[in-house]
Structure 1
Amino acid sequence: MSYNDVQNEIKAELSNTLESIDNDSVETLLKEIKQADKVFFVGVGRVLLSLQAVAKRLAHLGVKTYVVGQITEPAITDKDLLIVGSGSGESAFPLIIAKKAKQFDARVAHIGANPDCSMKDYSDHFVRIPVATKFNLPNETPSVQPMTSLFEQSLLLLGDSLALMLVREQNIDMHSLWEYHANLE
């Protein structure tokens, strides 16, 4: 199989997946982000890598973002939002952190694939990326890609979509965004 064949399959999967995400749930997540004083992110593995990129992109837009566990992480409060990335909604560390965040009355948004999961007990809002999880449940959309690659890719593009929505909604001058970009490189 050639590169062109494979990349076409991946693009088709991404397009179908992103089109399947509920617009209203994304709009609600954007509202939650805008209302929060600080936005925290938690995930594990490749999901965490996608969330770190989303946190960085939103920081470029002036959103106060923190990845749980980073050395400069401040306290979470009732004015903040925790965004949990977990396809299955069953990963232990994100579950523990979401439970802890609720103890401080923070809002919790879960971006995942499995609506019927343990994370629902701690989430105020859920955005479903309708793809296969590690459990391969009957209502999940399969992927030709290994493991849960489609979820992590879709999570990253969902984050970039949220960022572009913010840019357009707030009429942000794209060139001005460079003031938030790292400059010690």
Structure 2
Amino acid sequence: MNYKMAVKLVLSECSSALDKINEDEVNNFMNMLLEADQVFFVGVGRVKLELEAFAKRLAHLGIKVHIVGDINEPAMTSKDVLVIGSGSGESLIPVAIAKKAKQIGGKIIHIGSNSKSSLAPITDLMVRIPVQTKLYLSDEIVSKQPMSSLFEQSLFLFGDVVAVMIIDKKNIELKKLWNYHANLE
């Protein structure tokens, strides 16, 4: 496969995945982020990297965000939201942290593909990106990319889509976002 064919494949799969996300789930997700005092993110591997990028963008929008496990992570309260990124919903660390967050009284949001995962009973909202995971569920979008690349790519793009929606909803002037950008670089 040449470069142009690979680009078409990846972009086509990402477009299909994002088109399948339920818009009501997205709107509920956005509202929960905006209503929370703080938003915590947890994921592992490449998913964690995508969530870190999303958290950084939300910080640019003035939302208090934290990555679980960071040295400066504060205490979670019942006024906060935990966002879990896990395609399968079975990753051990995110599931354990979600259970702890639920005990604290926080809201739990799962962004993933498996709506019947171990997270389902404690999740306040699931945003389903119905793409192929390690579980190979019958209703997932099949990908020709390795492993869970399509989920990770879709998660990254989903974060930027939600950021654009928040910018529009809050009528944020794009130039003013630079006030939140790192300035020690």
Query: Any residues of structure 2 matched to 1:90-105 within 5 Å, and which?
Result: 90-105=90-105
| 1:149 aligned partner | 149
Identify the residue that residue 83 of structure 2 maps to in structure 1. Answer: 83
Between 105-114 and 116-125, report the one with greater CA deviation: 116-125
Q: Give me the whole-angstrom Cα distance separating, in 1, the residues matched to 2:44 and 2:182.
A: 24
Distance 1:53 1:137 in 2: 27
SS of the residue corresponding to residue 63 of structure 2 reads: coil
Q: Which residue pairs with 1:11 in the alignment? A: 11
Secondary structure, aligned partner of 1:118: coil
Give the corresponding residue for 1:109.
109
Instruction: Return 5+ residue gaps in structure 1 as ranges.
Output: none
- Please report the TM-score for the alignment, with normalisation by the length of structure 2: 0.99
State the 1:141 CA deviation. Answer: 1.4
The answer to whether residue 183 in structure 2 is matched with residue 179 in structure 1 is no
Match of 1:34 in 2: 34
Query: Could you report, residue by residue, the CA deviation over 1:120-154 in whole angstroms, capped at 9, with x for unpaired residues?
Result: 12211000001011111222211011000000110
Alignment partner of 1:132 is 2:148? no
> Displaced runs of 4+ in structure 1, greater than 6 A?
none
Identity among equivalent positions (%) equals: 52
SS in 1 for 2:83: strand
Q: Give the counterpart letter for 2:89 in structure 1.
A: G
**AA partner of residue 106 (structure 1):** G
Counterpart-to-counterpart distance in 2, 1:157 and 1:139: 21
Give the count of matched residue pairs. Answer: 185
Distance in 2 (CA, whole Å) between partners of 1:46 and 1:58 is 19
Unaligned runs of 5+ in 2: none
Distance 2:118 2:139 in 1: 17
Looking at structure 2, the residues matched to 72 and 138 of structure 1 have their Cα atoms a distance apart, in angstroms, of 41
Which shows bigger deviation, 71-80 or 137-146? 137-146
**By how many angstroms is 1:160 displaced?**
0.5
Show the 5 A alignment for 1:64-79. 64-79=64-79
